[in-house]
Chain A
Amino acid sequence: MKSKPQPLNELELYRKMLVIRIVEERLAKSHQRGLIHGACHTYVGQEAIATGVCAHLRSEDAIFSTHRGHGHALAKGLEPGSLIAELYGRETGCSRGRGGSMHLFAPEIGMLGTSGIVGPCILQAAGAGYSFKLMKTDNVGVAFFGDGAANNGAFHEGLNMASIWNLPVLFVCENNQFATEVPFASVAGNPSVAARGAAYGMHSVELDGNDVLAVEAAAREAVQRARSGGGPTLLECKTYRTRPHAEGMGDFTYRTKDDVEQWKTRCPIKRLREHLLTGKKATAAQLESIEQEVHDLTEVAHLFAENSPYPSAESATSHVYAATSLVAARDVPAPTASERELSFMKATLEALSEEMARNPKIFVLGEGIGARGGNFATTNGLFALYGPERLRDTPICERGFVGLAGGAAMSGTRPVVDFMFADFVLDAAGEIINQIAKIQYMSSGRLEMPVLLRGCIGIGHAAATHHSGSYYAMYANFPGLRVVVPSSPRDAKGLLKTALTCGDPVLFLEHRELMATKGPVPEGEYYIDFGQAAVVRQGSDVTVVALALMVHKTLAASELLEVDGISVELIDPRTVAPLDIETILKSVKKTGRLLIVDEAFGPFGIGAEIAAQLADIGFDELDAPIRRLNGKASPTPYSPTLEAAVVPSIDLIAQTIRDLYAE
């Protein structure tokens, strides 16, 4: 059975707040002494909120927090030594020295992370709520965030999703009245955060965040509601931080010393102390003994941290990818003359359908992917089998549901985000790049992020510029992401199945002009490993590397060239990240010539990367300069004549190969 929270123990609340305060003061001192290498945002003055809320949480409940997260981590149960060591950059820190003050992770106790970016914690808590509901537990997700986040899109998108899906989530706004150093009143059209909750049909409460008993009572009700299926709650806790935004920063350019002194008299710890003494709930001697004990344990924690080793430099890049990222995929059955003809779309639907049947933790998010079956029939027929929880139609809030998917992955489910067009998901770039791609690393591999992000790319049929981008090179630039770009139904199925069993976040980008094309697909289940290029056509004069639609165009060009006596070897990397440069090198050893044909823009693209890598390891193999043929570097135009002019044609590919052959 799960552990039950303790009944209210005011002395324990006192002790917890004191631990946060004394540890923060110790950290402030250490910051001055140079023991802390980066930023340090303390929680001094706000201790009642984390303490009152976490009093009702179990280790299975998940909390998500901000750059000011030390207090949340300690209240959730993080050992002070583990926190201090993280800020000192040591191996024993809770993120093993990979995070520091703003990126604290302790999944073992349900501390699923703090973030240096304002907003994502709200979406991630909603994601945890989604996981908990899907897995039929009564755990809750909690987001702690400041007043600054209440003006951020994540707040609005996250609250709306939590409300419409009735998710077990607490949104705890710590309104300390300054968004960094900007007074909240000056940037809020409606200065009541709690009132905004009502706009999303959510229980909302405004309370004195410096009164730990008030916070404790409100949180008790909210947690109870979430656990019993009553849905989310927004708590607006009014408070004040009495130290600067970050240690070492001047404090009196935007507020006065008098204001700070005034708020210090409302210190939540002092208040509880007086309450305990006047109510005769504790003696002064009892409280002093707690204070002494907390001072001592903080000193021990500091010494532990200071004497801990730094992580070894060799480990700097470990945990970028999940330990289970490359599953031992089974071999593809040998091709036979009798493979079925399936469309690209049907092949991926088969993969998704097989994996959803096997793994109940897989769910799909997207616009129109429920009963409608997806804009491109990507989920056709699955809604009838699995219902709305696993095939979830979303509001049009790309950042919101991608952020939610990240939180769901962190809390144990496997979300598939079906975003229709790759252009749309750029609104969620921060969630993908700053959160989903980095969390495995920041948590030192203790969290895996199996998020599948799929959608279509590619120019054609006058879709114009907001429905035609490719973007794979951009994603491949970020460590932590896998980027898959299949060109055939057979590869699409095998690669999608690997993506659905891989521990890493995967961008699965499908060229829209290929979705209806048919090709042979083996019977039964099979997986294709990432990082294994396919030799699509064998040849001996020129090596051409191409992806997606360009594979087909190059194949057609190769047939034309065969008549001229030019023999083309065509390689489809299939995954951009990881990139199989070895297969390309093997081919160039034979041909001495390399052309990269890419529909996407040339500058800083995949062609540049392949050329540079190949020149590094295969310079002596080259009998001619490496060439690139790219789509024109312009937004995609609408008119057919203009559109055709920006995409490499079969004739242009053939001519470019001829030229390279003559170099």
Chain B
Amino acid sequence: MPIHITLPRLGWSMEEGIFLEWLKKSGDYVKDGEPLFTLESDKAAQEVESTDSGILHIPSYGAAPGAKVKVGAVLGYLLASGELPPDEQTSSPPLPSSPAPVPHHLPLGEGAAADTGSLKHKLQSDTPASPRARRAAKATGVDLAALQPTGKGGRIRECDVLAASLELGGTGMKWRTTPTSPLRRTIAERMEHSKRNTVPVTITTRCDATGMVSLRTQLKAAAEFRVPSFIDIITKLAAGALKSHPHLSGRWADGAIQLPEAIHIGVAVDTELGLMVPVLRDVAGLALSQVSQKSQELFERARRGGLKATEMRDACFTITNLGGLGVEAFTPVINYPETAILGVGAIVREAVSLEDGTLVSRQQLTLSLTFDHRAIDGAPAARFLQTLRQRLEHPLVWLLNER
């Protein structure tokens, strides 16, 4: 095989060089390492050594001295003894090593003609207007040219377009954002999470709270200590009800129900910062007076924003109260991952018909229970509510014996 002698690249950016002269004649035997020809690059002229051995053949179409030659173009051949040079008739003339450059710019014409559309558009919107105002104008059909600009240098702003649109009877309402606290965003996140991850059902029942009211009246008369609130009493009695209906205090996880070791109950507190849920631990193991004391302490710290993270963890049931604000029944949102939440309504005095038909005045309370239908069905949830109602209607019976 003839060995091709090509124009070498002498520097990184060299694309072509000036071929100066052969240092050997056609037919000479050239040894590896011997100077073969001289070449001028952008740096200087230099001798180029042969990297192979053989008999030099310089073709008739070979580069003339002083000619500019592309890097990689064939200058000649080294032949073995007796080997014929490639047929000059059929061999391709020296080729540039790199393809012909493609013009970067296409001829004008088609593109220029196609541009006339946007020219018309430009004429229509001579009035300076922000991109946002232009978009609003397009959406509302307001004519920019007819507007009184309020922006700097007479620029039409979005508000100018929206004001005009309002006059034309369109909608141009702009909403104003008020910063919220991280707590607000956390609450939002948790509410959404609960909604996405539970199947909530709310049921309500009425119960007679006259016994609770009179209990508090008697305790107030004694007045030596803090009188437990209605919520304290309900929390204490709910703990007992949860013990006999344990699934209401469980957590639905991976197709199973996890039951707690102790009954920790969260109580929602409305604070200036937002909704907080401090947790009363082991309510079943506390006396009512202790529940009352603990809850007072926690609520006060919650209002000051001084709860520790650990004091808001591990609840298995939550109680929330809108009774103080006159609400009777509502649909509380489960405090995920718990299974149920109890909503306590207002205590209202009502006429109640006894079995013999006589009307008496009683204190009535509505309980709203939201439960996760994945973990528990309607009937057992209703049975829990029934148990709780019985307990609330006769509080002393239970409070006497339960610690």
Interface residues of A (CB under 8 A from B): 25, 28-29, 31-34, 38-39, 248-250, 334-339, 523, 537-540, 567, 569, 590, 592, 619-624, 662-663
Q: Which residues of B contact A590 (CB under 8 A)?
A: 177
Q: Main SS of the interface on chain A?
A: loop
In the complex the two chains form, what is the Cα distance from A537 to B309 in whole Å?
Answer: 24
Instruction: Specify the chain B residue showing the minimal Cβ separation from A40.
Output: B9
Task: Please encode chain B, from 131 to 162, with 1 for each CB lying within 8 Å of some chain A CB and 0 for all others.
Answer: 11111000000000000000110010111000
Given contacts A34-B9, A621-B132, 5 further A-B pairs with CB under 8 A are A32-B9, A336-B307, A523-B309, A620-B132, A622-B132
Are B273 and A38 in touch, CB under 8 angstroms?
no
Instruction: Specify the chain A residue showing the minimal Cβ separation from B41.
Output: A248
Interface residues of B (CB under 8 A from A): 4, 6, 8-12, 14, 43-44, 46, 48, 51-52, 71-72, 97, 130-135, 151-152, 155, 157-159, 174-180, 182-183, 186, 189-190, 273, 276, 305-309, 311-312
Minimum CB–CB distance from A131 to chain B (whole Å) comes to 35
Minimum CB–CB distance from A466 to chain B (whole Å) comes to 38
Q: Which residues of B contact A624 (CB under 8 A)?
A: 130, 151, 155, 157
Are A29 and B52 in touch, CB under 8 angstroms?
yes
Q: Which residues of B contact A663 (CB under 8 A)?
A: 151-152, 155, 157
Are B158 and A338 in touch, CB under 8 angstroms?
no
Are A338 and B179 in touch, CB under 8 angstroms?
no
Q: Which residues of B contact A31 (CB under 8 A)?
A: 8-9
Given A33-B72, A34-B72, also A623-B309 (CB < 8 A): no
Are A32 and B8 in touch, CB under 8 angstroms?
yes
Are B306 and A338 in touch, CB under 8 angstroms?
yes
In the complex the two chains form, what is the Cα distance from A621 to B131 in whole Å?
Answer: 7
Among A250, A538, A620, which residue has its beta carbon within 8 angstroms of that of B179? A538
Q: Which residues of B contact A339 (CB under 8 A)?
A: 309
26 CB-based A-B contacts, threshold 8 Å:
A25-B51, A31-B8, A32-B8, A32-B48, A33-B8, A248-B8, A248-B14, A249-B10, A336-B307, A337-B305, A338-B307, A338-B308, A338-B312, A538-B177, A538-B179, A540-B174, A567-B178, A621-B131, A622-B131, A623-B131, A623-B133, A624-B130, A624-B155, A662-B152, A663-B155, A663-B157
Minimum CB–CB distance from A167 to chain B (whole Å) comes to 37
Q: Which residues of A contact B131 (CB under 8 A)?
A: 619-623
Given A29-B52, A335-B186, A619-B131, also A539-B179 (CB < 8 A): yes
Minimum CB–CB distance from B255 to chain A (whole Å) comes to 24
Q: Main SS of the interface on chain B?
A: loop
Are A338 and B311 in touch, CB under 8 angstroms?
yes
Given A334-B186, A540-B177, A567-B177, also A32-B6 (CB < 8 A): yes
In the complex the two chains form, what is the Cα distance from A155 to B375 in whole Å?
Answer: 71
Are B12 and A623 in touch, CB under 8 angstroms?
no
5 residue pairs, one from A and one from B, having the closest CB atoms: A540-B177, A32-B8, A623-B132, A248-B10, A34-B72
Instruction: Specify the chain A residue showing the minimal Cβ separation from B153.
Output: A663
In the complex the two chains form, what is the Cα distance from A241 to B61 in whole Å?
Answer: 38
Given A248-B11, A662-B152, also A569-B177 (CB < 8 A): yes
In the complex the two chains form, what is the Cα distance from A336 to B307 in whole Å?
Answer: 9
Are B311 and A538 in touch, CB under 8 angstroms?
no
Q: Which residues of A contact B97 (CB under 8 A)?
A: 34
Are A336 and B312 in touch, CB under 8 angstroms?
yes
Are A539 and B177 in touch, CB under 8 angstroms?
yes
In the complex the two chains form, what is the Cα distance from A182 to B135 in whole Å?
Answer: 66
Q: Which residues of A contact B309 (CB under 8 A)?
A: 336, 338-339, 523
Q: Which residues of B contact A338 (CB under 8 A)?
A: 306-309, 311-312
The CB with the most chain B CB atoms within 10 A, among A25, A339, A624, A662, is that of A624
Are B152 and A337 in touch, CB under 8 angstroms?
no
Are B176 and A567 in touch, CB under 8 angstroms?
yes
Q: Which residues of A contact B11 (CB under 8 A)?
A: 248-249
Given A621-B131, A623-B132, also A336-B186 (CB < 8 A): yes
Q: Which residues of B contact A335 (CB under 8 A)?
A: 182-183, 186
Q: Which residues of A contact B132 (CB under 8 A)?
A: 592, 620-623
Instruction: Specify the chain A residue showing the minimal Cβ separation from B313.
Output: A336
Instruction: Specify the chain A residue showing the minimal Cβ separation from B156.
Output: A623
Are A250 and B43 in touch, CB under 8 angstroms?
yes
Minimum CB–CB distance from B358 to chain A (whole Å) comes to 52
Minimum CB–CB distance from B332 to chain A (whole Å) comes to 20
Given A334-B186, A338-B312, A663-B151, also A620-B177 (CB < 8 A): no
In the complex the two chains form, what is the Cα distance from A592 to B134 in whole Å?
Answer: 12
Minimum CB–CB distance from B376 to chain A (whole Å) comes to 27
In the complex the two chains form, what is the Cα distance from A408 to B150 in whole Å?
Answer: 61
Minimum CB–CB distance from A627 to chain B (whole Å) comes to 12
Q: Which residues of B contact A537 (CB under 8 A)?
A: 179
Q: Which residues of B contact A28 (CB under 8 A)?
A: 51
Instruction: Specify the chain B residue showing the minimal Cβ separation from A622.
Output: B131
Are A337 and B12 in touch, CB under 8 angstroms?
no
Among B44, B135, B157, B175, which residue has its beta carbon within 8 angstroms of that of A540? B175
Are B177 and A337 in touch, CB under 8 angstroms?
no
Minimum CB–CB distance from A601 to chain B (whole Å) comes to 26
Given A250-B44, A335-B183, A338-B309, also A620-B178 (CB < 8 A): no
